[in-house]
Amino acid sequence: MFNARIALILAGLTFATWETVDIFWISFPAAAAVFAALFLGATLWFWRRDSLRAAVALMLLFAFEAAVAPTLKAMTVTKVADLTLALTGIALAITVVVTRRRTKASRAVAA
């Protein structure tokens, strides 16, 4: 069964790993280190607290990655993979947020 929460956690960990590897390959490694820490922190926050704020933070990080993907100094395959993973992360974060809001609204009506 598809679980958007688990998929969002996996997407966040994938980008955290990607950025960690980028530390050794790009010309400005500090940026990759910061984004690796941000992705890991937001993913752990979401995993531990199951927070909407953490899901929104991940969505913003994925949106930033999607915005800068075309400007990467890398092969086209890398750009496409980066953009695809970022768009997938955005879709998963939106799914988590919408599902949570609908569940919260239906609980309020039922009570």
Comparing CA positions, the residue from 16, 93, 20 lying closest to residue 58 is: 93
Q: Report percent pLDDT > 90 for the chain.
A: 81
Tokens representing 85? 């993973």
Q: How confident is the model at residue 74 (pLDDT cuts 50, 70, 90)?
A: confident
pLDDT tens by residue, 47-68? 999 999 999 999 999 999 999 9
Tokens representing 8? 């969002």
pLDDT greater than 70 at residue 110: no
Comparing CA positions, the residue from 61, 63, 55, 57 lying closest to residue 87 is: 63
Please provide the DSSP assignment of 16-38 as one string.
HHHHHHHTTTSS-HHHHHHHHHH
The amino acid sitting at 8 is: L
Average pLDDT over residues 86-93: 97
pLDDT at 1: 41
pLDDT at 102: 86
pLDDT tens by residue, 5-34? 999 999 999 999 999 999 998 888 999 999
CB 93 within 8 A of CB 56: yes
Whole-number Å distance between alpha carbons of 46 and 26: 28
Cα 17 from chain centroid (whole Å): 12
